[in-house]
Amino acid sequence: MTGDRQRVIIMGAAGRDFHNFNMAYRDCAGFEVMAFTATQIPAISGRTYPPELAGPLYPGGIPIRPEEELAELIQKFSVSQVVFSYSDVSHEYVMHKASLCLALGADFLLLGPDRTMLSCSRPVISVCSVRTGAGKSGITRYIAGILKGMGKRPIVLRHPMPYLDLKEGRLKRFGSLADEERCDCTIEELEEFEPLISAGMTVYSGVDYAEVVRQAEAEADILIWDGGNNDLPFLRPDLEIVVLDPHRAGHELSFHPGEANLRRAEIAVINKVDTAAADAVKRVEANIRQVNPRAKIIFTASPISLENAVNIQGKRVLVVEDGPTLTHGGMPYGAGVLAAGKAGVVEFADPRPYARGSLREVFREYPHLGNLLPAMGYSGQQRQELKETIEATPCDAVVIATPADLRRLLDLDKPSVRVTYEIQEVEGHLLKQAIEVFVGRGK
């Protein structure tokens, strides 16, 4: 497949990259995608985007190579176009990648929403964010609860996370925890699906999003897009909501594509106002008004609950936090640290000397983690390494602050307590009222 076709590489992390290919390149005879490159997620490179998903122009599929090989691949295949297709990275980071590609003679592209959003027959509410870990999924649960209370049937469509078998990940539907248990899911998938399922929601995800939408809209009154990281929606929204995190004030203007989400949003939710500094909240509010003065600003809290808090008072604890929030999300702490501090722990155990396997590399790559353990589990082996690291770290108890209950997933022997949070509006019920107005006006 050569001739006059432009040769393309798509840079990704097993999500947006495949969707961009499906929408813009899969059936386009004028382009030949030579490879995907992969980063952020362990062990996703070295595989092949299968021909069953790649389409008839790619009977052998498309190789997925480590991003470290990008320059070599551009030169080897005389690539003329590189498409950047992943999220939650700084603007500076994106331009460094652009500079590399431009120096080698290739165009550097960011595909826009008009080329990559799917149209739906049902109304769509998108819930996106400016950074990973802003509390987006909590807002999704809150909105879904409002819709159910109005007698509607919302279906949640989750950003794809096909880190294991790509063909098996073409379309996934979770209507119960039993569905989740039958699926070979990563911890990150379970962290996203489990709270929604436990709240009575049906969740769809998958690699082939055209098929995902077709299936989901057949059983929904309203679709809720729950975006991954700070990515743009895959669906064309009728109402765009973006969630901001004052614990990282300023990031709403300095991370891709979070700033684009903010500039598009009809509603901007400043979350975590119960734990963030007042001046940080004001800074985020000012930044919203600077770039999107038409957005309706709503403030929410994320009150933290810790079961059996008395069990860790005066104790030495190991805190296990949400993996993506700590790693490429860049947070130096999460709900577990806040809850443990409030409960009166005397010391945070350091897991780094006891880290097993790939977790050692995680601590090297993200030195800001300190003595917090991110819940990494992108494969069965990494899940076992996480369990062994927890069991080997000397502590009195484990504080589980992940959206999915790791005690059930890992069958831990150590005493543990769990941290959860829900969304509360702090100035009346403005978000609830906005959803009611949206439903009332129809699509």
**226-255 pLDDT, tens digit each:** 988 899 999 999 999 999 999 999 999 999
Decide if 35 contacts 63 (C-beta within 8 A).
yes
Structure token pair of residue 378: 């992108």
Compute the Cα dihedral for 307, 313, 317, 322 and give only its sign: positive
- As a whole number, the mean pLDDT across the chain is 91
Q: Distance of CA 83 to CAs 24, 25, 177, Å? A: 11, 11, 37
Closest listed residue to residue 70, CA positions, set 22, 38, 41: 38
As a whole number, mean pLDDT of residues 54-60 equals: 97
Per-residue pLDDT, 65: 96
Per-residue pLDDT, 328: 73
Per-residue pLDDT, 329: 77
Q: According to DSSP H, which parts of 25-135 are helical?
A: 51-54, 70-76, 91-103, 113-116
Closest listed residue to residue 105, CA positions, set 74, 76, 77: 74
Per-residue pLDDT, 43: 66
As a whole number, mean pLDDT of residues 288-316 equals: 93
d(C-alpha 403, C-alpha 405), whole Å: 7
Decide if 37 contacts 69 (C-beta within 8 A).
yes
pLDDT band at residue 176 under the 50/70/90 scheme = confident
Q: Is the pLDDT of residue 443 over 70?
A: no
Closest listed residue to residue 18, CA positions, set 32, 34, 36, 41: 36
Residue 37 three-state SS: strand
Residues 6+ apart with CB under 8 A from 328: 40, 88, 89, 132, 229
Per-residue pLDDT, 1: 43
- From the centroid of its chain, how far is CA 25? 24
Q: Alpha-carbon dihedral of residues 176, 182, 185, 190, nearest 10 degrees?
A: 30
Higher pLDDT, residue 244 or 376: 244
pLDDT band at residue 75 under the 50/70/90 scheme = very high
Q: Which of 211-215, 247-251, 304-308 has the lowest mean pLDDT?
A: 304-308
d(C-alpha 323, C-alpha 189), whole Å: 11
Residues 6+ apart with CB under 8 A from 125: 143, 222, 223, 224, 225, 237, 238, 239, 241, 435, 438
Per DSSP, which regions of 206-345 are E strands?
222-226, 239-244, 255-256, 267-270, 296-301, 304-306, 316-321
User: Which one of 45-54, 77-86, 321-330, 395-404 scores highest in mean pLDDT?
Assistant: 77-86
As a whole number, mean pLDDT of residues 110-136 equals: 95
Quote helix, strand, coil % in the chain, to nearest 5: 40, 25, 40
Q: Is the pLDDT of residue 427 over 90?
A: no
pTM: 0.90
Closest listed residue to residue 404, CA positions, set 386, 418, 424: 418
Residues 6+ apart with CB under 8 A from 198: 177
Q: Provide DSSP, 143-196.
A: HHHHHHHTT--EEEEEPP---S-TTGGG-EEESSHHHHHHS---HHHHHHHHHH
Q: Is the pLDDT of residue 60 over 80?
A: yes
Share of the chain above pLDDT 70, in %: 98
d(C-alpha 266, C-alpha 279), whole Å: 24
User: Which one of 95-104, 135-144, 340-349, 384-393 scores highest in mean pLDDT?
Assistant: 95-104
- From the centroid of its chain, how far is CA 97? 21
Higher pLDDT, residue 122 or 334: 122
- pLDDT of 405-424, one tens digit each? 888 778 888 999 999 888 99
- φ and ψ at residue 166, rounded to 5 degrees: -70, -40
Q: According to DSSP H, which parts of 318-429 are helical?
A: 323-326, 335-343, 358-365, 380-392, 406-410
